A and B are shown apart, each in its own frame.
Chain A
Amino acid sequence: MSLILSIVVDGVAYGMILFMISVGLSITMGLMRIINLAHGGFALLGGAAVHLLTTHLDVAFIPALLAAVLAVVLLSVLLERLLYRHIYGFNELGQVLATIGIVFIMIATVNLFLGSTILPLGVPASFTTSIDLGFRTLPFHRLVVIISGLFVLAGLWLLMEKTKFGIYLRAAVDNRVAAASLGINTPVVYLVTFAIGAGLAAVGGILGAELLPIEAYYPLRYMVLFLIVVSVGGLGSVSGSFVASIGLGILDTAGRYLLPGLGTIFFFVAIAVLLALRPNGLMGRAQ
């Protein structure tokens, strides 16, 4: 029993990180129909910025986190204006290649300034203390991750369902051309969505550094994982991303606990079977 609870708690924490990083990717893919392989790069840059601020400039963790996320959002606005705006028009293959190019440059930049070792984020000591849950002790950090994930989910739900921007966004996901012809300023919707996605990736990357350590090759190492979340959840679906992230988090954790050695095989076979049966993901609609 306590084993099952452990798997669930660890899996949910892991899933929340996946959710925060991947949800922006899912929405940009559903909205702009772009395969953005550089999305994990925003998580890396966020983590690298926090590392720089906390260890080299002695800034406290929380302000460093806020500053890093802000910096990533600004960078993503710049990149959207300069590069991504043109990439939207490319075919699938062109998008894959252009964004691989961008991610390579991000990796090389981080590597040039900070090296290729794991970058510690200067997490405050209070984050690593354990709290007793009755059946096991849990690092406080996991709890922070789970709570932040729930906040992000709630925030996105409010944004999508209760604001004017959410209406525009959902309309544009459903049909870009019709949305544009109804007078919705789709380029601005794209820009804001892209920036939100990048910012969330940075938050996820920073908070998730305990489980997915930040280092120069981060975006390539975990790219497959993020893309799997998106394709399992279904493009452009926040709830799909959430269900897929938590499900995959628990599946992966269970595989590692129960079938050590065969966990990865189990994980990827499950994904391949699922995608073969439901090519549009759990909550995706036929294109």
Chain B
Amino acid sequence: MTTPVLSSSPRRAATSLSVLLPSVCVLAGAALAFLMFPYDLSFLTRIVIMMIFVVSFDLILGQAGIATLGHAAMYGCGAYAAGLIALHLSPDPILGLAIGAVAGAVMAWISGLILLRTHGITLLMISIAMTMVLQEAASQARWLTGGADGLAGITVSPLLGLFEFDFVGQVAFIYSVSVLAGVLLLCQILISSPFGLALRGIEGSASRMRAIGTPVYRRKVTVYVIAGAIAGIAGALTAQVTGLVGIEVFNFSLSADVMVMLILGGAGRLYGALIGTLLFMVVHHLAASVDPFNWLFVIGFMLILVVFVLPKGLISLPTRVTQLLRRT
């Protein structure tokens, strides 16, 4: 074995710090939000869970360039798995998360084996069709899923045996934020690893990556499974925090919303996923409280604006503005 050249360079230390950066930012932001909006914790928790979900989508769309419209499939499987475990087996939240992750990963593995052989419009269609099949199956299997009524009354035991989930949602919020920080750390490690580099290579040009010997299909399935596990975690968190799982978890609009949030913020970068989710959820909350239907005007114009003016998302706004200023 030859020793890697970079292993002892100072860059190594800098990378390990930058790996922690997104998690630290999120923790600081969450602490601030916790102090500033102590009465909106359930809404903040929803945002945090959505962030986990969008970050998982960023792994497949932003890193590997796989565009699907069926990411809700894994989220829903995680939610149902965690809900069923809590109802029938054990109310432990951490176990529920693990089961949710496994359910998401298994779903992603099965569907990924078929999905990732295709691309473009066919991939979009099959991913939509699979989510529809799951939704229909969930609504038919009344004995297991409760059909259209869903699973209700899911309760979880105190976190780590110590912290009881309270009425205001403080524990739920801290719990979700910790999970988000962990997920971000994992994703950051993944992105800065050779595997992450291979994914960005596949996004750039799959045929060239194949030519230099990367097993493109296997890499894609791997990242799809990892993203599926994280989406499953997001679903499991939703089930535990809200105590409900309905067939809406497989809604097409959820998959579309996730894509919109990611593109709004900027695909390919974790901060983009976080910013996009925050903006989308807050605007949604405000617009929907005025008039639920005007929300579609807002999001429609926002989408067209982003695609036409800021194709790399809001995260590219500063560079874009400086570019424009420099030109004039």
Chain A residue nearest in CB terms to B69: A96
User: When the two chains form their complex, are residues A228 and B125 in contact, meaning their CB atoms are under 8 A apart?
Assistant: yes
A206 CB to closest chain B CB (Å) equals 23
User: When the two chains form their complex, are residues A92 and B308 in contact, meaning their CB atoms are under 8 A apart?
Assistant: no
Given A101-B300, A101-B301, A228-B125, residue A96 in contact with residue B67 (CB < 8 A): yes
User: When the two chains form their complex, are residues A108 and B294 in contact, meaning their CB atoms are under 8 A apart?
Assistant: yes
Given A108-B297, A228-B129, residue A98 in contact with residue B303 (CB < 8 A): yes
* Chain B residues positioned under 8 Å from A231 (CB to CB): 121-122, 125
A85-107: CB near B (< 8 Å → 1, else 0) gives 01100101110111011111101
Q: Which of A32-62 contact B (CB under 8 A)?
A: 35
Q: Which of B67-124 contact A (CB under 8 A)?
A: 67, 69, 114, 117-118, 120-122, 124
Indicate if B40 sits at the interface (CB-CB under 8 A).
no
* Chain B residues positioned under 8 Å from A235 (CB to CB): 121
User: When the two chains form their complex, are residues B117 and A279 in contact, meaning their CB atoms are under 8 A apart?
Assistant: yes
User: Which one of A16-24, A66-74, A185-193, A266-274 is at the interface?
Assistant: A266-274
With A and B bound together, what is the CA distance between A272 and B115 in angstroms? Answer: 9
B38-77: CB near A (< 8 Å → 1, else 0) gives 0000000000000000000000010000010100000000
Chain B at the A interface: SS class? helix
Return the contact of B121 from the options A29, A108, A111, A269 (Cβ within 8 A): A29
Which of A29, A107, A276, A280 has its CB near the most chain B CB atoms (within 10 A)?
Answer: A276
Interface size in chain B (residues, C-beta < 8 A)? 41
User: When the two chains form their complex, are residues B297 and A104 in contact, meaning their CB atoms are under 8 A apart?
Assistant: yes
With A and B bound together, what is the CA distance between A280 and B119 in angstroms? Answer: 10
Indicate if B263 sits at the interface (CB-CB under 8 A).
yes
Return the contact of A92 from the options B120, B128, B256, B301 (Cβ within 8 A): B120
User: Which one of A153-161, A162-170, A174-182, A257-265 is at the interface?
Assistant: A257-265
Indicate if B164 sits at the interface (CB-CB under 8 A).
no
Number of A-B contacts (CB under 8 A): 121
Indicate if A212 sits at the interface (CB-CB under 8 A).
no
User: When the two chains form their complex, are residues B133 and A265 in contact, meaning their CB atoms are under 8 A apart?
Assistant: yes
Given A100-B256, A105-B297, A111-B296, residue A35 in contact with residue B307 (CB < 8 A): no
* Chain A residues positioned under 8 Å from B128 (CB to CB): 224, 227
Indicate if A171 sits at the interface (CB-CB under 8 A).
no
Indicate if A152 sits at the interface (CB-CB under 8 A).
no
With A and B bound together, what is the CA distance between A92 and B182 in angstroms? Answer: 32
With A and B bound together, what is the CA distance between A224 and B224 in angstroms? Answer: 23
User: When the two chains form their complex, are residues A86 and B308 in contact, meaning their CB atoms are under 8 A apart?
Assistant: yes
Given A224-B128, A276-B114, residue A97 in contact with residue B303 (CB < 8 A): yes
* Chain B residues positioned under 8 Å from A265 (CB to CB): 133, 136-137, 140
B290-328: CB near A (< 8 Å → 1, else 0) gives 000110110111111011100100000000000000000
User: When the two chains form their complex, are residues A101 and B303 in contact, meaning their CB atoms are under 8 A apart?
Assistant: yes
Indicate if B253 sits at the interface (CB-CB under 8 A).
yes
Indicate if B247 sits at the interface (CB-CB under 8 A).
no
Chain A at the B interface: SS class? helix
* Chain A residues positioned under 8 Å from B122 (CB to CB): 231, 275, 279-281
With A and B bound together, what is the CA distance between A264 and B125 in angstroms? Answer: 15
* Chain A residues positioned under 8 Å from B221 (CB to CB): none
Return the contact of B293 from the options A92, A108, A224, A272 (Cβ within 8 A): A108
Indicate if B174 sits at the interface (CB-CB under 8 A).
no
Indicate if A220 sits at the interface (CB-CB under 8 A).
yes
Chain A residue nearest in CB terms to B135: A264
With A and B bound together, what is the CA distance between A276 and B311 in angstroms? Answer: 31
User: When the two chains form their complex, are residues B293 and A112 in contact, meaning their CB atoms are under 8 A apart?
Assistant: yes
User: When the two chains form their complex, are residues B300 and A102 in contact, meaning their CB atoms are under 8 A apart?
Assistant: yes
User: When the two chains form their complex, are residues B304 and A102 in contact, meaning their CB atoms are under 8 A apart?
Assistant: yes
A residues adjacent to B (C-beta < 8 A): 29, 35, 83, 86-87, 90, 92-94, 96-98, 100-105, 107-108, 111-112, 116, 220, 224, 227-228, 230-231, 235, 261-262, 264-265, 268-269, 271-272, 275-276, 279-281, 287
B residues adjacent to A (C-beta < 8 A): 61, 67, 69, 114, 117-118, 120-122, 124-126, 128-130, 132-133, 136-137, 140, 252-253, 256, 259-260, 263, 267, 293-294, 296-297, 299-304, 306-308, 311
Mind listing 5 A-B residue pairs with CB under 8 Å? A97-B259, A100-B256, A108-B300, A276-B117, A279-B122
Having A100-B256, A268-B132, A268-B136, one finds 14 other A-B pairs with CB under 8 Å, namely A86-B308, A90-B311, A94-B311, A96-B67, A107-B296, A108-B296, A228-B125, A230-B121, A265-B133, A265-B140, A268-B133, A272-B133, A275-B125, A281-B122
